Structure 1
Amino acid sequence: MNEQFSKEDILKRQYDWGNGIIRIGKIYTAKGDYVKAAKEHIDDLYGYGESKVLFKPTKATDPQFRASKEEALSYFVGGNNEFPEDQGFALQPWEKVRFEVHGFIANFKQAIIMGNYFFIDANGGETKVEYTMGFFRAADNSLKLNLHHSSFPFKPE
């Protein structure tokens, strides 16, 4: 398909991503099958299996990248001995998410968006994260991530 990417479509997928993280946490809190929810989230949003995916999670330092679906799952829900620092980012749980977009670039093969996202917890506290997300059109014409870099803002000493 040679369909152009629209900013609105990319913004919707961003919110699909953020709301999916929130959903995983709610299922975890309700003692439901949060691992299944996380696998569905990854299948829906990330292009593992169709594309190389460059994923650098916010709270990942050693190793800092997640090259496979299993490694991404570890980041979101923990439980993988190869990634002992992964405590399950999606298990917070979070209540809301909002995005501030800095910029958007699109052509017929790739769309890239950059800015800040803010996850809000149950006490109203915000966690600010800087992000870059790259999307491509999968074989089923859905928009999938093949680039996701998140990091906390720099804090000078």
Structure 2
Amino acid sequence: MITKEQVLDAQKNWGDGVVKIGSLKDNRPECEAFANEFLDARYSFEAGVVLFKPTKCAIEQFRPTKLKALSYFIAGDDRACEEDKGFAIQPWTKVRFENTDFILENDRAIAMGNYYFTDLDGNEAKVEYTFGYKLMNGVLKIDLHHSSFPYNP
């Protein structure tokens, strides 16, 4: 059975990875290499379908491939989606999860809540998320990533 602690650890590793990508933005080759490693370590693209709906996408809302996820995180001249600005190279200094709850099963888990991204000025951006995880060789990998800004009438 997947534990809450495993999910919390996966969330910490994901947040730390997003922060590290941003810290490397001035060294493009190193940033690209780490972002590729991040996607391989945190997402299950190699195992099949990943349902990825990132926050800041209006034209191409869903990113079902590693190449399109990479484009979302780091953009660049060769980005796969023209609208991408490089979410992870903002940069962010901290990512904090506030989980509403978890569904824990033998080899799957789902977490939902808010996560907060802190920028260089200390401002936090609040984003709603749902992450689905599958257990692969003892590691939780994301196969469902949905995030969006809170409703603002």
Normalising by the smaller structure, the TM-score range is over 0.9
Partner secondary structure for residue 58 of structure 1:
coil
In structure 2, the residue corresponding to 1:49 is in which secondary structure?
Answer: helix
Percent of aligned positions with the same letter in both sequences?
Answer: 47
Q: Aligned match of 2:11 in 1, 9, 14?
A: 14
TM-score, length of structure 2 as denominator length: 0.95
Q: Which runs of 4+ in 1 moved over 4 A?
A: none
Count of paired positions = 152
Go from structure 1 to structure 2 and tell me whether the alpha carbon gap of 1:31 and 1:50 turns closer, same or farther (over 3 Å shift): closer
SS at match of 1:28: coil
| Structure 1, 80-89 or 60-69: larger mean CA deviation | 80-89
Query: Residue 106 of structure 1 aligns with which residue?
Result: 104
Deviations 1:5-62 (A, max 9, x none): 0001101101111110000000114566111111010000000011310000000121
Using the size of structure 1 for normalisation, the TM-score is 0.92
> Gaps (5+ residues) in structure 1?
none
Match of 2:57 in 1: 60
Distance 2:80 2:26 in 1: 25
Query: Residue 50 of structure 2 aligns to which amino acid in structure 1?
Result: V
Deviates more, 1:15-24 or 1:32-41: 32-41
> Gaps (5+ residues) in structure 2?
none
Q: 1:110 to 1:128 in 2, by over 3 A?
A: same
Aligned in 2, Cα 1:65/1:31: closer, same or farther, shift over 3 Å? closer
